[in-house]
Amino acid sequence: MNRTPLADRFWPKVDTSGDCWVWTAQRDRDGYGRVRPGGTAPYVRAHRAAWFLATGAWPDPELFVCHTCDNPSCVRIDHLFVGTASDNSTDRDTKKRGGNSGRTHCLNGHEFTPENTYQRKGGPGRHCRACDAERHRAYRRGGCPR
């Protein structure tokens, strides 16, 4: 079990030479840093640990620690804010980045029109009705196109 304080393990893995303070150690497939808060505790995203180190409190698990800089490996506290999933999606959509917020067509070329677009209850982003219908047809035939 690692008894070295989190701050002593955390900050040596951060490059503070640029505007964003970049996590240089292990990252997940989405580019977010990963760190164990201590012992055998599960990994947490590095920017959540940065929030803890700066404020002394872990953010509520239901809330997101969002990036104003849109850099998933950034752990600079003044580039972070706590918000809901909706706050995070609104921030993304306002900046027209990520997801499909700035796209006029889905990945299969169907236009995002009011008739062909829906949002799942409680889920982020837009979804294409034509693609959804195609997936259902493929499933009923015994296969899935994904």
Q: What domains are defined for the chain?
A: 1-98 (3.90.75), 100-146 (no CATH)
Strands (E) in 9-116, as ranges, are: 14-15, 22-23, 34-35, 44-45, 64-67, 80-83
Q: Tell me the C-alpha distance between 42 and 50, whole Å.
A: 16
Residues ≥6 apart with Cβ < 8 Å to 4? none
Q: Tell me the C-alpha distance between 34 and 24, whole Å.
A: 10
pLDDT tens for 4-57 read 899 999 999 999 998 999 999 999 888 899 999 987 889 999 999 999 999 999
pLDDT tens for 83-142 read 998 888 788 777 766 655 567 777 777 888 889 888 777 666 778 899 889 888 888 887
Q: Is the dihedral of CA 61, 6, 75, 71 positive or negative?
A: negative
- pLDDT score, position 2: 58
Please list the alpha-helical segments (H only) found in 77-128: 85-94
- pTM greater than 0.75: no
Other CB atoms within a 10 A radius of the CB of residue 85 amount to 14
